[in-house]
A and B are shown apart, each in its own frame.
Chain A
Amino acid sequence: MQIVKNAFKYFKKDFKDYIKSYFLFQTIAIINLFIFSHFVDNSNTFLRIHFDDYNIDSIEATFILIVMVIALGFYAYHYLLNTQNDKLAIFKLSGIKMSVIILYFLSYLFFIVFSSLILAIPLGILGLDVIYRFIFSSYGNTYPGFHFSSNIIAYFLVMLIFQVIYLVILTIGFIYRTEIKHLIYGATSLSVIKSRKKKQTILLNSLITLLGFFVLVYGFTNFEVTYGDLLFVGLVSIFLIVKRFISSILFWLIGQYKIRIASKYNNLFIGLTTLKTSLIKTNSIITILSFIVYFIFCNIYLSYQRPSDSVLNIAIYAFVTLILCITIGYQMLMNTNERKIDFEQLYNLGKTKKELLFILRFEVFVNILITLVLSLFIPSLLTLRLLLNKIISIDLVAGLYLFYLAILAITSIFVYKSYRKKVFE
């Protein structure tokens, strides 16, 4: 019982700092789940507002959107666990038994999931209500009021059970992996250990990346332009290429560039080191971003001839891009306290404010540039393929890309300004 009390005590203490992002995605996932349930079970609602031209793609889009937002929730939880590294290592250092640590973290997880549901369900109902009122009023119809569809509880429970199983596995894996030496050797040495492990698998990762490129080229040159085929080729190649490319090949390239060229320019050398540290933390989100952008581009392009589906998909694209960019910004800013100490040390070593600003700018803008290039790389091949086949217009492509660029540009400026303020305050 005391362990559960302790878990609740730390849950309250950590709430302000770490748990917000998980709550955000849980809430969005539940709003999406409600929308999805209404698509599937309350088709009469749509018929009444003359949405006859909605087809199965829109239902799929909403469903996959739920899965993706849940994935972001997992990502937020994974990130939350990483912030608990020190605490877990201190638990082990203090001689706390493994069974007690597991019970503590599972209680902690229970409080996070349970309290997020208490918040997310009313917000989900409210969000759905607002969205429906808006849709009905735009079509000049009377809103019949919110009511639960017959299967919504079943969908909700399935989602919850799936989430909890995954989170429990993630938590136990985290408990087993975290060691006391994390505290003693510090983050730098840990990254050395990680880089050593990665080096051993660089060949395997390069081969898998090549396989991904093969799937991509073969798929785009031989497959039909159908929703299923394009989705398969894109998502499989992103799975095989993006994260491995960053963690093995890109990091290796940065390392080589640092040793061979950047070592002559001290600030660039430090900038590359901080960039790598920053990319270690953001590479998962870049992969998720690639998946989502590709998936939504697929939906938009293939529903291009059906205006109502197309409008819905573009709205989803705008919404998801926005929350993802907020997540990237949030993630980068979460590390500023740690980074402030690094910059203080550089200042003590004689770096001027101008030099520190160069390093900071380099880290933020190059990170966002890498995010932009990598997340758009495979979706751009899809765009090119469909442009060549004259399935989509250049206006649509320009609109989508400009929106994406604008959001990422705003994110990078916001992150840079907040980061600079935090470091130099």
Chain B
Amino acid sequence: MNQLNHELNIIKAKNITKKYEIAESDTFLKALDDISLSIDKGDFIAIMGKSGSGKTTLLNILSTIDIQTSGQVYIYDTEIRKLEEFKLTEFRHNHLGFIFQTPNLLKKDTIYENIALSLSMASVSEIKIKQQINIITKQLGIESILKKYPSECSGGQLQRVTIARALVRNPEIIFADEPTGNLDSKTSKQLMELFQELNDAGKIIVMVTHDCYIASFSKKVLYLKDGKIINQLEKGSVSQKEYFDLIVDLLFKEDES
């Protein structure tokens, strides 16, 4: 039973609220308003919504990067807010991988060094690092740029490098903020298929996107408006095409309302 609970509520958010103070004024902006959700083993979630709806704020809070103003977030029954920095980095090391729209790479390092960073710092042997990097870079089609520096690569290539950096550690939960933002449609599709493979292998994926096609690779869509989850959609047994149509309908209805 415990095992079942563990698998059912891997990420749990209770009454999350996030407020930002607007600089040089006394007013607050409520980015998230009393959000509760749970994410289970095998989930692949797409968070959607208009600009300013709170998608990225929600992802940052769920992924331990930001702290909510009120409410609780639990991952594997651990309340994130109560973890001090030492344990938090340990926790991220053991469970989480991050992919952001901006590459955030070390400019003075080659692409190989950037991808190898976490393994190399964990004293993994050079042979093992090479093997893992070879597999992941082939999947992402960036094996030819490993000796280049970030300044010598295109936006799309850099985005794939950040994905490789996140995946090379084989994390259990992957948080991705607009992961296909800088990619062309072909590479976006390849990445989403890779996400599906990872998800089939048991990884949890939580992704922010504004693109209905990209969201159609997920199993569940959460739609945010003014900091609240106002609609949800589950793929269930429908085909990707039907699911895509449902997402488009949902967005159309919400846009009209």
Contact = CB atoms under 8 A, between A and B. Distances in A.
Contact of B21 (A1, A90, A95, A196): A196
Given A95-B92, A95-B96, A95-B97, A2 B121 contact: yes
A96 interface: yes
Contact of A96 (B24, B56, B89): B89
A296 to B, nearest CB: 38
Contacts of A176: 85
A96 B121 contact: yes
Interface string A186-201: 0000001001100000
Interface in B218-249: none
Interface in B94-146: 96-98, 100, 102, 104-106, 108, 117-118, 120-123
Interface in B171-213: 171, 177
A311 interface: no
B89 A98 contact: yes
A26 to B, nearest CB: 23
Interface residues of B, number: 33
Interface stretch (A177-185, A358-366, A373-381): A177-185
A211 interface: no
Interface string B138-178: 00000000000000000000000000010001010000010
A193 to B, nearest CB: 9
Contacts of B92: 92, 95
Nearest to A177: B85
Contact of B123 (A1, A192, A196): A1
A22 interface: no
Nearest to B118: A94
Given A6-B121, A181-B66, A192-B23, A98 B90 contact: yes
B93 interface: yes
A79 to B, nearest CB: 18
A2 to B, nearest CB: 5
Interface in B35-78: 56, 60, 65-66
Contacts of B85: 98, 176
B65 A96 contact: no
B122 A184 contact: no
Contact of B24 (A1, A98, A259): A259
B252 interface: no
Given A92-B92, A96-B89, A100-B121, A184 B23 contact: no
Contacts of B171: 95
Nearest to B66: A181
A411 B196 CA distance: 59
A124 to B, nearest CB: 31
A1 B125 CA distance: 11
Interface in A4-33: 6, 10, 13-14
Nearest to A103: B121
A195 B24 contact: yes
Contact of A13 (B86, B108, B169): B108
Contacts of A255: 24
Nearest to A256: B24
B123 A2 contact: yes
A181 B60 contact: yes
A201 to B, nearest CB: 14
A93 interface: yes
A180 B123 contact: no
A96 B118 contact: yes
Contact of A90 (B23, B66, B106, B122): B106
A91 interface: yes
A184 B108 CA distance: 20
A96 B105 contact: no
A2 B120 contact: yes
Contacts of A3: 121, 123
B108 A94 contact: no
Interface of B: 21, 23-24, 56, 60, 65-66, 85-86, 88-90, 92-93, 96-98, 100, 102, 104-106, 108, 117-118, 120-123, 165, 169, 171, 177
- Nearest first, the 8 closest Cβ-Cβ pairs linking A and B are A98-B89, A94-B118, A95-B93, A192-B23, A98-B86, A2-B123, A13-B108, A180-B65
15 contacts: A1-B123, A2-B120, A87-B106, A94-B117, A95-B96, A95-B118, A95-B171, A96-B93, A96-B121, A97-B89, A100-B122, A183-B104, A184-B177, A196-B23, A255-B24
